[in-house]
Amino acid sequence: RAVMAAPAPTTFWLVSLPATASPDATASALRAALADTGLASVARFALPDLRSGTLDALLALCDDLARVNAGVEGVVNKVRRQLHDLAAAGGGSGSAASVGGAPPSSYLARFAWDAAKYPPRAPLADTVAAIAARVARVDDDLKARAAEHAAARSALAASTRRQTGSLAVRDLAPVIAGRELVSSEHLVTLGAVVGRGADRDFTLSYETLADYVVPRSALLLAEDGDYKLYGVTLFRRAADAFRAAARARGFQVRDLEAAAPAPG
C-alpha cells in the first residue's frame, strides 16, 4: 500500500567557500552543481568586507564571540519556542512567522547587511557589542510581551469562568436579575452556594449559623449541575459571623449586593 510521508522541515546551511576573484562565479558554479540534484537551492548570503583590525584584536575577540554566539542562540531558541507555543495554542502551524515582514526563507535568501546599524568599517569589537546589545533588547522585549500574553490569557480564562463557570465562580448578575433581595441599613440578603447533596444540611442549619438570621428566609435563587444558590436574609452586623460559620460547614457565601445589576 502507498504511504504518504509528511514533508520534511526546511534546513538551511551556511556554506563558506574559498575566496576567489569572482564570488559571483563561485556561487554560480555551486548552483550549477546542485541544479540537477533537486536537493537544494543556492542564495548568496551577502556580507560586506568587515574591518578585521590587528591579529591581537582578533584573538582578543575570540572569547567574546563565543559568549555572544551562545547568547544569540539562546534568544533565538526562546523566540522559536514562543512562536511554536503560540501557534499550538491557536491551532496553527507557525507558518505566519515573519522576519522584517518576510517569511524566514525569503529573508535568508535575500539577506542584506544593515550598514546603517552596523557600519562595515567600524571595529569588529564595536560591531559585536552592537549585535549583543540588540539581541539583549530583543530578549527583554520578548519577556515583556510573554508576560503581557500570559496576563491576557489569565484574564480571558477568568472572564470565561465568570460567564460560563459554576455558581461558585460565575457572574451572578444575570442569575439574580429581577429578584427581590433585601438591602437596607440593617438587613441584607447574602448568597449561599451549596453543593448538590448538601442542600438538606444547609436548609436545616442555616438559621443557627449565626445570630440574627431571619427564620425561613432561605430562598432558592438558581441551580446548576454542581451547586444550588440560596438567598439568606439576616442583620448586617451578623454577616461576618454567618460567612465564617458557613465556610466551616463547607458552604460558600457570595455578596449579592455587589453582583446585583445596576439600576437601569
Give the chain's residues under pLDDT 50.
1-7
Can you tell me the distance from the alpha carbon of 30 to that of 61, in angstroms, rounded to the nearest whole number? 32
> Residue 104 has what pLDDT?
81
Can you tell me the distance from the alpha carbon of 101 to that of 93, in angstroms, rounded to the nearest whole number? 18
The three-class DSSP label of residue 71 is: helix
pLDDT, one tens digit per residue, over 34-90 is 877 777 888 887 788 888 777 888 888 888 888 899 999 999 999 888 888 887 776
> Residue 262 has what pLDDT?
56
Quick one: which of 243, 262, 254 has its CA closest to 221?
Answer: 254
> Residue 3 has what pLDDT?
37
> Residue 44 has what pLDDT?
80
> Residue 90 has what pLDDT?
67
C-alpha cell at 114: 544593515
Can you tell me the distance from the alpha carbon of 63 to that of 225, in angstroms, rounded to the nearest whole number? 65
